[in-house]
Structure 1
């Protein structure tokens, strides 16, 4: 394995252990492209962690947009993730529009604006987590992937919403609120109240509503997941943990707000293995 490939793989293992494991269930000849895709996701998802103001973050996202959109065959950028991703985009004919939409959605991460509505939240999840699943599916089996775009949409929404719930302590400390304003209003709360102190009963009710919304998308996915071909399973494998995490979240809203919801490494491995071997 070359030095760059090892760097990309190590980046994913450190930043996104579940997706790292999922790649190991993919065919050997697909792994470099999947690791590049997931390293890109890890890099962009942590831009907020490396900036103090939003503008440098927007500049960084624009750099990625320009770099990925540059003609193939130009000199390497010196950024190993970009230099690994561009050949994968070319080899598998991955649509640049998906990356543009992904980067556009990630601008939201750089600010503390409240999420306006459930529709906006689902759009955010769709352009990020769902798009990542669909792009991975295109790498794995480009002939079958288009038939399962809607399934990828549901899977990504469920997975992303659970991820946002797990990140509640970090987001609240920053003053970020990913719980949609219309959901907060419906439970008698507001973004300001949700972020202040312990959030009160309104925060607990809002978390319950988010858990229910994630359950809704997971159930919609599972209702037709049996049709998913084995060739595409690795793209969907990180979703294998979502049901178990939702089970631990239900009735444990306070633990969610303090980062107390986790799955053991052994259970994560087992859940991924079970879905990789037997599907849904």
Structure 2
């Protein structure tokens, strides 16, 4: 196995272990595209988990700067994920500036500032998730730009993930529920950070689930014209089953993990892949 092949194999192992939903989705992508998709997904994982590996923001910012330098200089520094990512960028003429925007957006994760508005939330979803979905779409479509439905899929998938992660966010003092939405429903942020379930919180979560479904509807409308890039939307087909789990009667969003059995995830993605 060459060093580059080993780097791609490392990326797949990372994705299979830490991002199983998208790893399962990747099984329905063309074999030739899979290693490059795994490189992009592994890069996203590496950036997303920086918050979990540092005790204060500065080391995280230093880590993000290392990745900026690696992408801009096309130098992997022996990091297998960076090596595979740089090769993928070159092969498919990916927009490195968009990947740098992903890193910049993730800087929000290092701090405990609340999400200020629904517009800011949409920007976060775009830059942390849609960027990745669009890059994978470009790989699947052999360099062609991603259609708008891929952006919608990325936003839906990311917001579903944020809703699923609510218990862990508030445990570490983070608030991704937009402040303007909380103010409109008259829910003080302190109530959320204190893990207090309430009818007002239910209204906030309902509004955000409706936002996910709006993105899913826009994705679905655009799929027929998306060509090979449509397969990049596959992970978003898991959003609706997760949303339904969140809406189970009596569920406490701070106490109940939102999970799906592996067989169910496989079945949902298999059925969706057949229809694309």
- Do both proteins adopt the same fold according to a TM-score greater than 0.5, normalized to the shorter chain? yes
Flag structure 1 segments of 5+ consecutive residues without an equivalent. Answer: none
Q: Cα offset for 1:252?
A: 5.0
Given candidates 51, 61, 64, the residue that maps to 1:61 is 64
Moved more, 196-205 or 12-21: 196-205
CA 47–127 in structure 1, closer or farther in 2 if over 3 Å, else same: same
CA contact (8 A) 1:204 1:254 kept: no
Given candidates 235, 240, 251, the residue that maps to 1:238 is 235
For normalisation by structure 1, the TM-score amounts to 0.92
Q: Cα offset for 1:200?
A: 3.4
Aligned residue for 1:204? 202
SS of the aligned residue for 1:145 comes to coil
CA 197–28 in structure 1, closer or farther in 2 if over 3 Å, else same: closer
Q: Cα offset for 1:83?
A: 1.0
Q: Cα offset for 1:276?
A: 1.1
Given candidates 2, 5, 9, the residue that maps to 1:6 is 9
Moved more, 105-114 or 207-216: 207-216
Aligned residue for 1:169? 167
Aligned residue for 1:29? 32
Aligned residue for 1:105? 105
Q: Distance in 2 between matches of 1:278 and 1:260?
A: 30
Across the aligned residues of Structure 1 and Structure 2, the Cα RMSD in angstroms comes to 1.7
SS of the aligned residue for 1:158 comes to helix
5 Å matches for 1:174-193?
A: 174-193=172-191
CA 259–10 in structure 1, closer or farther in 2 if over 3 Å, else same: farther
Moved more, 45-54 or 233-242: 233-242
Aligned residue for 1:272? 269
Q: Cα offset for 1:25?
A: 1.6
Q: Distance in 2 between matches of 1:12 and 1:255?
A: 30
CA 142–191 in structure 1, closer or farther in 2 if over 3 Å, else same: farther
Q: Cα offset for 1:248?
A: 1.9
SS of the aligned residue for 1:83 comes to helix
Q: Distance in 1 between matches of 2:144 and 2:245?
A: 34
5 Å matches for 1:76-155?
A: 76-142=76-142, 144-146=144-146, 148=147, 150-155=148-153
Q: Distance in 2 between matches of 1:188 and 1:242?
A: 27
CA 172–50 in structure 1, closer or farther in 2 if over 3 Å, else same: same
Q: Cα offset for 1:27?
A: 1.6
Moved more, 3-12 or 177-186: 3-12
Does residue 195 of structure 1 match 2:193? yes
Flag structure 2 segments of 5+ consecutive residues without an equivalent. Answer: none
CA 135–25 in structure 1, closer or farther in 2 if over 3 Å, else same: same
Q: Deviations over 1:117-159 (max 9, x none)?
A: 100000000011111110001111145434x1x2122111111
SS of the aligned residue for 2:253 comes to helix
Q: Deviations over 1:49-75 (max 9, x none)?
A: 1011011111111110111000x4x5x
Q: Cα offset for 1:193?
A: 2.0
Does residue 258 of structure 1 match 2:258? no
